[in-house]
Amino acid sequence: MTNLTRYGAPAEGQSAGTLHVVFKVAQSEYLLPSETVLQMESFSGATPVPGAPSYVIGIVQIRGRVVPVVDLRLRFGAGVGETVLDNRIVVGQYGDRVVGLLVDSAREVVKVTAAQLKPPPPILNHQASGFVKAVVQVGSRVMMLVDFARVIGEEPLHGVD
Amino acid sequence: MTPRVDLKEFLSAYVAEVDEQLQAANAKLLEVEASSHAGHANPRSVRDLFRALHTVKGLSAMVGVEPAVAIAHRMETVLRVADTAGGPVALSSVDTLLQAIREIELRVREVSQGKEPSPAPRAILDALDKLDLSSPLSTRGPATALDLDPAVASKLAPFELDLLSAGVRNGRRALRADFSPSPAKAERGFSINTVRERVGSVAEIVKVVPVAVPPTDEAPGALSFAILLLTSASDEEIANAVGIAPESLQVVMPATPTLESATPPPVVAAGDDDLEPLSHRRNIVRVEVSRLDDAMEHLSTLIVTRSRLSRAIAELTSTGANTRALAEIMRDNARQLRDLRAAILRVRMVPVSEVLERIPLLLRGLRRESGKQVRLELDAGNAELDKGVAERLFPAIVHLVRNAVDHAIEAPADRTRAGKPAEGTLRIQCFAQSNTRLELTVSDDGSGVDRASVARRVGRDLATDAALLDALCRAGLSTRDQATTTSGRGMGMDIVKRIVVDQLGGELAMKTAAGVGTTFTLRVPLTISIVDAFTIERHKQRFVVPVSMVEEIFEIEPAAVRFGPSRGMAEGSRAGIVERRGEAVPLVDLAWSLRLAGVGVAPRQAILVRRGGEPTAFGLDRVIGQQEAVVRPLIDPLVQAPGIAGATDLGDGKPTLVLDLVALGGTLAARDGERAA
């Protein structure tokens, strides 16, 4: 029995957890709290914005709103990935800002309890430039909770950008 | 407090209405102050002020903002007395009243932020209570006891009597001076005309009554003039002006001691049914801007749909179908959309005079902080501006006004020494330049920008005003070493430029002359958001360029492009020179300017834009067409880049970038080093 629970089928005793969206970037699994995520969209290309940071793949239009998209592979230093049908834009909100994250795939929603969240090991923290807020280990699966604000450049990064 | 949450809808209306009333109150109070300065009562403004506060009190009571009620109530009490007494307000009380308005404002702001309003400060309540008891505000009572011989008194019209009593209540003295013309006096320069003039300069002449007198040496013509006047000047000054002995002046109306009139006159004027709110105008609906934005948003989607429709029709046409009828409908549709858009835009327009309403209050504070004397001349005419543009533009105007008072206009003593009037003049003028642009100037008659000092700071020569302005607009530049409370560090010109040029797509110009003054000219679009635009293509990428920015589009003749020495630069990054109408125009590849990926053929067409008079041509593959585009600003910091004005949807559901070629041209010179590398 895994501690992870698919959305819609909460296991007993797990109701205290909060919902998180799981997505994959370069083989690794990441989490964002579902209250941060506005929606998920399929990806069919973005309009590049000259002069924007290199990890900004461009802008897309989602329900009449123009949203900048951060390519998480580039942001996380994982190299350029192929554009495949599985690609998703995870649209997140931070304050007034709405920014999309381009990920390899996003299919799952899980419940995570506060007790499951562990601070990232220092060496990982440094390497990940503070993008990882916490590590969640569930059985053999290790997932990383993404610091959305840092990813979209809201707070200064630890170490090198 | 739960009802507040339930009242959310109503609260925003409350905040808007109260805000408007407080603005009006501020403006009226300043009018009252100005009148008091000039020695007049201003019953009308006092009445308006009273009404505004009465409305504030009523609305605040409805929503339960008790601290605002408490303050407004006390102000109302004070003003009711002033109103009844015909409008005298002591200068010393204006500060307290302004402060009280400010305190209400603070509480309303708290409410608008969803907070509980903080209690009314004891100090301001006490100060208001004191005003009521001790200031000349409470001096009242009709001072009609006229001490004048009936022959003269009978010549006075009721309004002249009123003038006299109002003047006396206001602290001036009502005097009678008698002047009898004679040839001897005329020789010394005293005729009735010169006397009128001279008296007029030290007093207000209420009436001059000719009186028949027995002929004497003093009055050989058997004629004398009784001059009835109001003055704050001394007897000597008046007597000198008339050419008579001070002893012969008569007081015609005794000054009324303050709280003597036993029965205060009935408070008729302030009856509640008489109190319509200031803003009450028939057939006017208050609309929240967000609702207008909503309407505009819906219109935007309509325009996008129209673009899709015309694409679909074009495709249909290309298959050989007869689409003539459709094309006709599309033309009608285009016109209707234009009309609808114009109608919505009209609703969003606000008078510029309303936008500038807060400036007198701002200036009052600045005068006080700086100790400088500044007169404001506001001339906004009938010009109107989109609410959204107005809101963005206002901080820029505030910056310019601050700069003018703080940096440009000299201290009174310095001005006098320089042969200028001690009082500086700040002039804000505004007129619609065309149907699409508004020109606003902010000028002062101060010292002018210190060209040499700015040049020293930036380390280069600044021969032209344009170059000087450019230098001033660099972030963080200050011609002063010390921070001042009003302008803080730096002149904030970078902010002004960012607002006018970057945010509003307007122009900023400056004219300055040492010792004479400075004029800033702001040209901004009356509205933003929907523009007529060219769709262009370079390296298979489409962009949109607002038509208003484009001077011309021309074909590039490859043989006619001249390249100068190129320091071994790559092909596409070399700027060429082409000749257009006798002018040498730099030609840069749009692909290089935007760092577009992909290699293609040399550009075949060019778009010419001007930045501060300097032309730049951008090379591209082709201009595809022209259409209306809804510009959505790119506000997220991740995608704010020079030369990118926003994004638009041309009907394919994907954003297309709207280019600001004028701004883009400005960034190119800075990339010179990169090109050489």
Give pLDDT tens digits for A18-40. Answer: 899 999 998 899 999 999 998 89
CB contact under 8 A, B595 and A53: no
Q: Which of B639, B658, B659, B671 to mutate to test the interface with A (most CBs of A within 10 A)?
A: B639
What chain B residue is nearest to A48 in terms of C-alpha separation?
A: B657
CB contact under 8 A, A49 and B636: no
- What is the model's pLDDT at position B435? 64
Place of tokens 């002063």: B480
Which residues are B617's β-sheet partners? B587, B608
Mind telling me how many Å the CA of A157 is from chain B's nearest CA?
15
Say what percent of chain B tops pLDDT 90.
12
B674 touches A at CB < 8 Å: no
Cβ atoms B332, A95 nearer than 8 A = no
Chain A residues within an 8 Å CB radius of B299? none
Mind telling me how many Å the CA of B490 is from chain A's nearest CA?
26
What chain A residue is nearest to B297 in terms of C-alpha separation?
A: A64
Mind telling me how many Å the CA of A74 is from chain B's nearest CA?
14
What chain B residue is nearest to A153 in terms of C-alpha separation?
A: B638
Cα angle for residues B495, B499, B500 (degrees, 5° grid): 115
CB contact under 8 A, B636 and A99: yes
CB contact under 8 A, B634 and A59: yes
Sign of CA dihedral B461, B464, B467, B469: positive
Pick from B596, B642, B655: CB nearest A61: B655
Pick from A52, A60, A98: CB nearest B655: A60
DSSP A119: P
- Return the number of other C-beta atoms located less than 10 Å from residue B315's C-beta: 11
B632 touches A at CB < 8 Å: yes
Q: Which residues of chain A have pLDDT under 50?
A: 1-14, 158-161
- What is the model's pLDDT at position A136? 92
Q: Which of residues 296-335 of B touch A (CB under 8 A)?
A: 297, 300-301
Q: Which residues of chain B have pLDDT under 70?
A: 1-10, 87, 132-145, 158-159, 256-283, 433-436, 475-491, 502-503, 505, 528-530, 566-573, 598-600, 669-677
- What is the model's pLDDT at position A83? 67
Chain B residues within an 8 Å CB radius of A56? 638-639
Pick from A47, A53, A99: CB nearest B655: A47
**How much is the pTM?**
0.44
**Which amino acid does the sequence have at B435?**
N
Radius of gyration of chain B (CA): 33
Strand ranges (DSSP E) for B67-140? none
Give B547-551 contacts, CB < 8 A, sequence gap 24+.
B547/B626, B548/B436, B549/B505, B549/B609, B549/B660, B549/B661, B549/B662, B550/B607, B550/B608, B550/B609, B550/B661, B551/B608, B551/B609, B551/B610, B551/B615
Cβ atoms B413, B435 nearer than 8 A = no
DSSP A3: S
Residues B543 and B625: their CA atoms lie apart, in Å, by 11
CB contact under 8 A, A99 and B594: no
Pick from B595, B632, B653: CB nearest A50: B595
The distance between the two most distant Cα atoms of chain A, rounded to a whole number of Å, is 51
CB contact under 8 A, B654 and A99: no
CB contact under 8 A, A47 and B634: no
CB contact under 8 A, A51 and B594: yes
CB contact under 8 A, A70 and B638: yes
Mind telling me how many Å the CA of B289 is from chain A's nearest CA?
19
For the record, the structure tokens of B515 come out as 């010792």
Place of tokens 């009333």: B21
Chain A residues within an 8 Å CB radius of B647? 47, 59, 61, 66
Helix residue ranges per DSSP H, B618-660:
none
Chain B residues within an 8 Å CB radius of A51? 594-595, 641-644
CB contact under 8 A, A47 and B647: yes
B419 touches A at CB < 8 Å: no
Chain B residues within an 8 Å CB radius of A67? 636
Pick from B300, B653, B657: CB nearest A49: B657
Beta strands B424-432 and B349-351 are unpaired
Mean pLDDT across chain B: 79
For the record, the structure tokens of B6 come out as 């339930």
What chain B residue is nearest to A57 in terms of C-alpha separation?
A: B639
Place of tokens 């990890």: A55
Using DSSP, state whether B596 is helix, strand or coil.
Answer: coil
- What is the model's pLDDT at position B528? 63
What chain B residue is nearest to A64 in terms of C-alpha separation?
A: B301
Residues B636 and B98: their CA atoms lie apart, in Å, by 39
* Residue (of B272, B360, B305, B335) closest to B58 by Cα position: B272
Domains along chain A with CATH numbers: 18-147 (2.40.50.180)
Using DSSP, state whether B351 is helix, strand or coil.
Answer: strand
Say what percent of chain A tops pLDDT 90.
39
ipTM of the complex: 0.83
Residues A104 and A72: their CA atoms lie apart, in Å, by 9
B647 touches A at CB < 8 Å: yes
Pick from A50, A52, A60: CB nearest B638: A52
Q: Which of residues 537-596 of B touch A (CB under 8 A)?
A: 541, 594-596
Mind telling me how many Å the CA of A107 is from chain B's nearest CA?
25
Residues A1 and A11: their CA atoms lie apart, in Å, by 10
